Chains A and B, each alone.
Chain A
Amino acid sequence: MLVIRPLLESDLDDLYLMAQNAGKGLTTLPADRDLLERKINHTRETFNQRCAPEAGLYLFALEDTELKQCVGISGIQARVGLDEVFYNYRLSVTVNASREMGVHVRTPTLHLSNDMTDTSEICSLLLSDSHRGGGNGLLLSRCRFLYLDSFRKHFSEKVFAEMRGVSDKQGRSPLWDALGSQFFDMEFSEADMLSGLGNKSFIAELMPKYPIYVPMLPDAARAVIGLVHDNTAPALKMLQAEGFNFNGLVDIFDGGPVVEAFVHNIRTVRESVHRHVLISRKPVDLDVATSERVMIANQSFRDFRVTTIPAHCIGPDTVTVPREVADVLLVESGDQVRLAPLKDAGPQALAASEESKEPGRAGRFHRDRAD
C-alpha cells in the first residue's frame, strides 16, 4: 500500500538517494545530505509544533508499506520571505502613448518584486522513477491541498507554486544567459544549485533592481519568460486543473511562472467530502484502476495520513474500509475522514454518493464526472 505521512528522520537515506537521482533542476531538494537532514529536522519540529507557525516546513513522504521505503516527497512551506527576502519578477506592461505622434506602444517590463512574501508555497515534489504512474504523482501533489484546507490557520489564504522554467539539456537557461549572468558571473546550473542551498536571496541581491524592458532582451530569452520546462508541463497541467493560475510573476533566474490559487477554491478542496469510517470485516478489493480511486485522509495535524481506496467504498454517511487501510490511516470506526477525487476524470463508482444526504457535496463529485 502507498501512504502519505509526515517525513521522518529514518527517511534520510531514501531521500538522499532520490535527490541524487533527480539531478539538476529541483532547487528545493538538492542532493546534499546535511541540508536534507536539516530539512527533515525542520519538518519534525513543524509537525510537533515546536516552531513558530510561520516558520513551518511540512514535508510529506510517500511510503511504500511493503518495501518500508520512502518513494516520494512533497512539501508545503508555511510562509516564504520571512527570514530571507523572496524575489520574483512581475511581468507587467509599460504603455508609452502620445496622441500627437500617433504612438501607443506596450512594453512588457519585468519589475523585481517581493509580492509572494508571507504566502504559503507548495514545493519539493519528487517521485522516484520506480513508482511513476498509477496516480502516485497526483497523490503526492494533491494530498497537500487536503492538509492546507484542514489546517488553514497555519497557512495563508493563497498558496502558490514556482514552476521550473526552460533550460536545455546542458542546464543552460536562455533567460539566465541574457539577464542573470550579466549581473552575476556564474552558470545557471551553479546559481540554481546555490539557490537550493539556501543562497537564493544572496544571489537575488546581486540581480538588477530597476525594471528590465523585455524588448531589450534577445529573442531566445524573451521566448521563455513565463514558460515551463518540458518536464514540468504535466505538473503545471495538474495544478491548472486544480484551479491554479499564472499570477504574473516569474522566477528571476529562469523565467518559470508562478501559479497560485486560493485554498478554498482548489478543486480538491471544493470536491472533498467528509465521512465516518466504518471498518469492514469482509475483505474489500483494493486493487482497482487509478481512475476509480479516491484519496482518503485522516484529520491529524501531527500524523497526517493519506492513501487511496476504491471510490465505491464511499457511502452516504460512511466510508467502508478494510482494517489494513484503517491502520495506515491511524483511524478507528466512527472517526471522521476526508475524501477527494484523485484523477481529473473523477471516480466512476460514486453511486452511493448520489444518494447522499449531502447532495451538495456529492453533486460536486457528480458534476466532475459529467465533465
Chain B
Amino acid sequence: MWLVRPVEAGDLQGVLSISGEQGARLSSTLPKQEEAVAAKIEHSIRSFAGKLRGGESARYLFVLENTDTGAIHGAAGIDAKAGNGQPFYNYRRDALIHASHELGVSRRVEVLYPSHALTDMTQLCAFAIDPALKGKAPFELLARARLLFVAENRERFSSRMVVEIQGVQTADGRVPFWDSLGRHFFNMDFDTADKHSGLLSKTFIAELMPPNPIYVTMLTAAAQEALGRPHELSVPSFELLQQEGFQPGCYMDIFDAGPVLEARTDSLRTVVTSHRSVLHAAHGEDGETCLISAGQDGDFRCTLTTLGETLKNEVKVPVKTWQALARSAGDEVRIAPL
C-alpha cells in the first residue's frame, strides 16, 4: 500500500536515494548531499512538531512509502514561506514598448526583471519520485497529499501558492538558459553551480546573479526558446498542477527559466473538493478510488483508498486503510476525489 507521511529521522537514506535519481536541478529544494538532507529532515520534524526557532519558517517534507516493503519511493515538500525568510528570486517576464513619435516607430522589447514578489508565498517544493511511478496513481497521491495537508491546516499557509517547475535541459545535461546567462557570471557549468546550490542556499547563489534586468533579445535563440518551458520530465507534474488550478504566469526560474506556477490557495481543486468525514468500516473493496488523509501534524497520513458508500458525513473504507492511517472507527478523516 502507498502511504504519504511526514519524513522521519530514519528516512535519511531513503530520501537520499530518491534525490540522487533526479536530474541536475539547481533550484530543487530537495538537496543531494547527506548533510543537507539530514538538516532538511530535522527542520521538517520541528515544523510538524511546532518547535520552530525564532525567525524560522515552517518547511514540511513528506515521503511516499510502500508500506509492504517500508521503502521510500518519493518525497514532496511545502515551504510555508517561499524564500524561508530570505528573498525568493525569480525573473518576471515583462515588456516595454520602445517608441519614438518623431521617427514614427515602435517596438516591443521583452525584459526579464529580477523579482522578489513571490517571497513569503507558500511554495510546493522538493518533489522527487521514483521514475517508475511517474504518471501512476502514487504520483498523484504524493503530489496532492500535500494539498490535503494544506486544506487541513489552511491557517498555516498563505493565500497564494507557487511551484517552480524544472526548466529545459538538453540530453547531455546542458541548460540553455544557464549557458546564455548565469554561466557568464559564475564561470561554471550548471552541474557545478548545482552542487554549490545544494550546500549553500538558492538565495545565496541568486544574489550573485546580475541585479539588472536582462533583455530577452540578448539571450541565445536556445535560451529564448527555453523561457517558461518545463523540462520534458516535468511535464506530468506540470499538467497535474494545472489540473489542480496552478497556472503559469510571468515568473520563471532565474537559473533555468523553468515556469513558476501560481494559484490561489482557496481555489485549488483539492482544497475545494475535499471534505471532512467520519471513518467507518467497509466490507469489500468496491467503489471509486480517492485520496484519504488523517491527522494534522506529525501524525498526518494520506493514502489511496476505495470508498464504499458515503452517508452524510460518514465514509466507509476498508480496514487496511484504517491501519495505514493509524485511525479507527469514529475518527475524522479528509476525503478528496482523484
**Which residues of chain B are within 8 angstroms of A205 by Cβ–Cβ distance?**
98, 100
**Assuming the A-B contacts A100-B200, A182-B218, are A206 and B187 also in contact, with contact meaning beta carbons closer than 8 angstroms in the complex?**
no
Interface contact B212-A103, CB-CB below 8 Å: no
Question: Taking the nearest CB of chain B, how far is it from the CB of A40, in angstroms?
Answer: 25
Total interface residues in chain A, CB < 8 Å: 28
Cβ-based interface call for B105 (8 A)? yes
- B interface footprint on A77-114 (CB within 8 Å = 1, 0 otherwise): 00000000000000000101110110101010000000
A185 at the A/B interface (Cβ < 8 Å)? yes
B109 near A183: Cβ-Cβ < 8 Å: yes
* CB within 8 Å for A216 and B105 given contacts A206-B98, A210-B212: no
Interface residues of chain A: helix, strand, loop or mixed (majority): mixed
Q: Which one of B22-30, B178-186, B229-237 is at the interface? A: B178-186
State whether the Cβ of A208 lies closer than 8 Å to any Cβ in chain B: yes
CB proximity to B under 8 Å, residues A165-205: 182-185, 194, 199, 202-203, 205
Residue of B204, B214, B215 with most partner-chain A CB within 10 A:
B215
Q: Is the CB–CB distance between A212 and B200 below 8 Å?
A: no
A217 in contact (CB, < 8 A): yes
Residues of A within 8 A of B99 (CB): 206
For A212, the closest partner residue in chain B by CB is B218
A-facing residues in B167-207 (Cβ within 8 Å): 180-181, 184-188, 196, 200, 204-205
CA distance A98 to B210 in the complex (A): 13
A182 touching B185, Cβ below 8 Å:
no
Does B132 have its Cβ within 8 Å of any Cβ on chain A?
Answer: no
Q: Check: B337 CB closer than 8 A to any chain A CB.
A: no
Give A4-27 as 1s and 0s: 1 = Cβ < 8 Å from B's Cβ atoms.
000000000000000000000000
Contact of B186 among A100, A101, A182, A206 (CB under 8 A): A101
Cβ of A94: which chain B residues have Cβ within 8 Å of it?
210
Q: A182-B217, A208-B215, A213-B210 are in contact. Are A203 and B103 (CB under 8 A)?
A: yes
B52 interface hit (Cβ, 8 Å): no
Contact A208 B109 (CB under 8 A): yes
Evaluate contact between A199 and B103: CB separation under 8 angstroms: yes
* Alpha-carbon gap, A96 to B210, bound state (A): 8
Q: Which residues of B contact A203 (CB under 8 A)?
A: 100, 103
A214 to chain B, nearest CB (A): 9
Q: Could you tell me if B187 and A212 are in contact, using CB atoms closer than 8 angstroms?
A: no
Give the residues in chain A near B12, CB-CB below 8 Å: none
Say whether B213 faces chain A, with CB atoms less than 8 Å apart: yes
Q: Give Cα distance in the complex from A185 to B107, angstroms.
A: 8
- A215 interfacial by beta-carbon distance below 8 Å: yes
A96 to B217, Cβ gap below 8 A? no
Residues of B close to A103: CB separation below 8 A: 186-188, 208
Q: Are A216 and B219 in contact (CB under 8 A)?
A: yes
Given contacts A183-B98, A210-B215, contact A107 B185 (CB under 8 A): yes
Which residues on A are within 8 Å of B, measured CB to CB? 94, 96-98, 100-101, 103, 105, 107, 182-185, 194, 199, 202-203, 205-208, 210-213, 215-217
Not counting A96-B185, A101-B196, a sample of 8 additional A-B residue pairs whose C-beta atoms are within 8 angstroms of each other reads A100-B196, A183-B215, A202-B100, A205-B98, A206-B105, A207-B98, A210-B111, A210-B212
Residues of B within 8 A of A (CB): 98-100, 102-103, 105, 107, 109, 111, 180-181, 184-188, 196, 200, 204-205, 208, 210, 212-215, 217-219
